[in-house]
Structure 1
Amino acid sequence: MSVGLLAVVDDIISAAVKASAKAAGVVIDDAAVTPQYVQGLTPARELPVVGRIALGSIANKFAIIIPVALLLTAFAPWVLPYLLIVGGTYLCFEGAEKVLEWFGFAHGHGDEGERDEKRLVRGAIRTDLILSTEIMLISLANLDPDLGIWQTLGVLAVIAVIMTGVVYGAVALLVKIDDIGLRMAKNPVRRVRHSGTRIVRSMPAVFRVISVVGTVAMLWVGGHLILVNLGDVGLAGPAELLYGVEELLAPLGGIVTWIGGTAFSAVAGLVVGLVIVGVVLGLARMRGKRSDLNEGRRVEESVGG
């Protein structure tokens, strides 16, 4: 019986590794996006915040994504593209906001502190929900359809744990590597000390690159989700444009084709995100004007009274 159990576990782990291989690109994006959420925090709060986001990621996968994905795959698979379009739109909105911040158009951000930390964690967990959804759905699509429900559930559980460990282990290393460099810089061995100094000096540039890569990743993944899934719900035009770009670049090689498709998706994501930001700002201004009007009326009534 123990041999049979070990065989089942081995099959589940093997299936998890194979199914998650095609989601590696999104895993890299997730690892690039998340460090942005801990920038600006004090060093003592970085790992606790990463830990809270990782716990939120596990909760996303086990409490929301896996149960919903299994239910929808079994009973309403037509709903999945619409959910992915909504998720992609949110990623585009987040990415467009960050692009606008690069040009000095930041808005709606309070001062740093405990309240802000909670907001950052909530934002990171929301973004993780969408990226994790794509990871799990890609993995689910690459599973053997002959697997039983319990084996499928086991495979998805293994993928959830592995992916969360990989992503947030990498994030924790990234956000604490400057501390490692500081310790190395105090080492009495000259070569180690110089290496540590170089690490510390390079980290601001590294985080700037990570911030750019993370933002582009959000726009790419969000734009790709929208383009592809619009095709799945009957609006084939955007997806055909994407495939047309990839076919046009195909003779130049796989890397050029991937870069071209990624750039097209990212630009599409930026356009969608900017539109959503404009709508959100417009609605916020309308609410602000209504609030000012109501306040004015209350003042007039109190004066008249």
Structure 2
Amino acid sequence: MENNTSASYFNLTMFLNIGNYRYPAFVLCLLLCAFIISANLVIIVAIAREKSLHEPMYIFILFLSVNSLYGTAGFFFRFLRDLLSDSHLISRPACFTQIYVIYTYASYELTLLGIMAYDRYVAICQPLHYHNKITARMICKLFVIAWIYPAVAVGTCVYLSSRLPLCDNKIPKVFCANWNIVKLSCVSTVLNNLVGMFVSTSTVFLPLAFVLYTYIRIFLICRKCSPEFKSKVIQSCLPHIITFVNYSVTVFCDVSLSRINLEELNPLLAIILSLEFVVIPPILNPLVYGLKLPEIRKIMLRTLCSKPAQAVKA
């Protein structure tokens, strides 16, 4: 195969397998995108407007919703256009930009879940020290670390991939993915593999391990407590646990399946699994936190019900 180092476009080949289903798929994805945007905006507005929710746990939920909008914008807007297009070429700058946005979105989600786990751990296991440890200054520091490190780490991976000479321009996915581009390289990718493993470990597996550790500690504390205390802990932690388990499964599927040529075995399954981690979490997060946490649910219902009432008065 000849070198294609000067190619200015990539070809997203998995769209060819959608065929005549592109129009129903477009309508479905457009509805999903509209739901994700509206549901997360409701969460953001409810928390921002209600002063009683200006507490660390709810601020973290607000940032989860902001990150969901960020990931949705990075994926859906291009994806919806490609669904209706006969050509699925994407320019190199647009491709690497999409990689950066989607991968930082995934990293932000995990680091935010790690911060939320630490918040729940201190609140449950060290309640007397909560206000001393979870201060506004500490929250700012945690957010700075949670946002800056993934941005730099993912940016390094994208930069290394963008400098590789490539022997082909075909990406067997419906969106650009870093590992799929690395596999197109005409030269050794040892450095990319090492940096990729380090970034994956520090932005994916370490936050997941930390969340597991905090919930093991919380579980050990709850074993010695009253049923009422256990009930409050479950009510407080269940949305976070659901989000954590859901995202762990979706990230594991994406990381694992990116290393094999699943599209050669089952193209439809490959498309579904590749879309899972960019679609399911932004849908599930507002549902889980909006329905499970009574404080947010009350504010959301009050906000939604107040608008029709104001319209009637007018």
Fold equivalence (TM over 0.5): no
Q: Which has the larger radius of gyration?
A: 1
Q: Which has the higher helix share?
A: 1
TM-score normalised by the chain length of structure 1: 0.31
TM-score normalised by the chain length of structure 2: 0.30
